[in-house]
Structure 1
């Protein structure tokens, strides 16, 4: 049995911040006490904050390591190691790595490269090389012709813990405006006007043909095997009602206040992007995460495309002056996401839970990570 004592730390508990000490016993929190410890060998944290490790439900950060540039495929082991290191350095000790299921013809890494990404990540974990706990989040593009086949090929993987239903076809949810769709993909892909219109026509046909059936069949599978299901980009109360009928438990990135309010009222965990908080609003003109937090309709923050944004956003919610103290804000990135996916062994500082911990020092008001532990092992 190995033991480590972290002393003279400001412990962020469920409802308060106290100066105290925390015992790490093997992979778990062995005890919490007030005041500094006098035990020989105790590590003096110099009054730094001690937080539970962050739980990330939705990040596609891994994709950029496997395809750092268009048409550039990076070796799998190296890509997985680099991604894992960045996640650990961002204070995230449990991550649901998002991979897109269903090739809708516009993102190369989200097509044939998905299997290679999953295999490389699983190999990293199985070899004991991963710093943090990696799970899989299957983002199902329901309008893609091959979405169901690819979902069936990956859904039985042991690390799959979350499934979301997306439809990025023109005219749907995030792209209810065809002009918004044109602007986004013209900027992303640099297509000629003729090629862009051909893409829109193809995507509209695929959405009409496949989306409803794929959404239903994937949801049925998740209910049958007990996988947590999320909706994505809900824009209306009708979208929320549709998700409830399918059995979703999480509402990811609602685009309007009406949808977020309806989802929260129905008991769904409302997830918004941490970059939205850090940048002061949505880059696509949707509802702001801080606005939802102030209204009481925000449950979880996710780093989405920028891992380091999660910790910054949690402290930003406190600084926004909208009624969040540090324990309440921190729960948006730790206890709440853990609870949303049924992980009751982490996300809080409490005896018996996993020793997933962050030592954080405030420097000019900014949270700077000093140390990260995952199951009692220092990983950063």
Structure 2
């Protein structure tokens, strides 16, 4: 069941973030789009801000809803619905759900990716928030590439991110990788079987470029990125393989190489909120200040894009800061119909309390995704 569109509305009294900055001009919504005129019933939003809906380019926070505890998988459709609610309450109107397709097993396994994609196909059309799939492909899993390709085609996945989590240094030296036993148990394998599998994958890495080239050549419209570039050489390597987005580069040098090559850079919003990387990598806020960021993503925490943008606003201004979670990621993902509040675009917007930074309402595609108690009386009057 598709949610109904809101009736035509005339939002007045708020500070509205349009291209060029905050203005007091009213905002009109009609037929799920933003309009230049002021049709419909007036809703007084005095004291609030109206901002473009957040476009989250990469997030796996949905996993905690699918499995509240390790191994405690519940109904995937119900879990995704709860994730959509969390997205909406945090002002996210478009969300890339980053699903692994990996040898690591568990919720990262190919089988789980298939089940999650099926649940998404059933649930997504009924949600106001635009839920999209990103596939995180472990590049060493070349024998499963045909299954990954079929999954991409069947579920219209438009964003592929290349990962390589093999501990190559240890495997090349014939050493036992760190945390082997825990990872093996998580995957459902014995430590011996898990090590043998990783070694076999490591031994075939020379075959990866040709296998990736074949997968990509058949899908020319696919947006492709790499994850955790550590050096400029890493970025050059992945760019040569067709990955033109750098997700979460670990160093300034890698991020600078990405931007010098015209590649978008996605950074983690939690890094900004925390004041630094929890893994002791480069500071996202410092990269933002240097102009080395195209988009901030939720990564593992859906409140983080909103929190990070508001934190950065005092340094770079609200328009530039909010652009990192709206227009920037929308442009990167090729979504020209959203990201800014302009006539003709999707009615994707978040109504924010500027004093607390909390969301009072979220409208996605002209549909009510979230309405808090503070604004309920104004909308329902």
Q: Runs of 4 or more off by more than 6 Å in structure 1?
A: 175-179, 185-191, 195-198
CA gap of 1:95–1:297, structure 2 versus 1, over 3 A, is same
Give 3-state SS (helix, strand or coil) of 1:137's partner. Answer: strand
1:85 aligns with 2:85: yes
Structure 2 residue aligned with 1:356, among 348, 361, 365?
A: 348
1:157 aligns with 2:154: yes
Residue 110 of structure 1 corresponds to 109
Unaligned 5+ segments in structure 1 are none
Give 3-state SS (helix, strand or coil) of 2:47's partner. Answer: coil
Give 3-state SS (helix, strand or coil) of 2:178's partner. Answer: helix
Structure 2 residue aligned with 1:29, among 27, 30, 34?
A: 34
Distance 2:294 2:368 in 1: 29
Give 3-state SS (helix, strand or coil) of 1:286's partner. Answer: coil
Give 3-state SS (helix, strand or coil) of 2:158's partner. Answer: strand
CA gap of 1:73–1:215, structure 2 versus 1, over 3 A, is farther
1:214-264 CA-to-partner distances (Å, cap 9, x unmatched) read 454335433542110101111111111112212222110111110000001
Q: Is contact 1:57-1:95 (8 Å) kept?
A: yes
Distance 2:113 2:201 in 1: 21
Q: What does residue range 291-370 of structure 1 map to in structure 2 within 5 Å? A: 291-319=286-314, 321=315, 324-363=316-355, 366-370=356-360
TM-score, with normalisation over the residues of structure 2? 0.86
Structure 2 residue aligned with 1:282, among 277, 281, 295?
A: 277
Give 3-state SS (helix, strand or coil) of 1:99's partner. Answer: strand
How far the C-alpha of 1:85 sits from its partner, in A, is 1.1
Q: What does residue range 62-211 of structure 1 map to in structure 2 within 5 Å? A: 62-102=62-102, 104-126=103-125, 129-144=126-141, 146-171=143-168, 182=178, 199=194, 202-209=197-204, 211=205
Give 3-state SS (helix, strand or coil) of 1:155's partner. Answer: helix
Give 3-state SS (helix, strand or coil) of 1:154's partner. Answer: helix
How far the C-alpha of 1:153 sits from its partner, in A, is 2.5
Give 3-state SS (helix, strand or coil) of 1:11's partner. Answer: strand
Distance 1:316 1:16 in 2: 17
Unaligned 5+ segments in structure 2 are 371-381
1:167-187 CA-to-partner distances (Å, cap 9, x unmatched) read 011147xx99999x726x677
CA gap of 1:40–1:162, structure 2 versus 1, over 3 A, is closer
TM-score, with normalisation over the residues of structure 1? 0.86
Distance 2:183 2:361 in 1: 37
CA gap of 1:351–1:76, structure 2 versus 1, over 3 A, is same
Q: CA RMSD in A?
A: 2.8
Q: Is contact 2:106-2:112 (8 Å) kept?
A: no
How far the C-alpha of 1:24 sits from its partner, in A, is 0.3
Distance 2:117 2:212 in 1: 19
Residue 218 of structure 1 corresponds to 212
Distance 1:186 1:15 in 2: 54
CA gap of 1:154–1:111, structure 2 versus 1, over 3 A, is closer
CA gap of 1:273–1:187, structure 2 versus 1, over 3 A, is farther
CA gap of 1:242–1:378, structure 2 versus 1, over 3 A, is same
Residue 377 of structure 1 corresponds to 367
Q: Is contact 1:96-1:161 (8 Å) kept?
A: no
1:311-343 CA-to-partner distances (Å, cap 9, x unmatched) read 101111223x3xx11101111111111111111
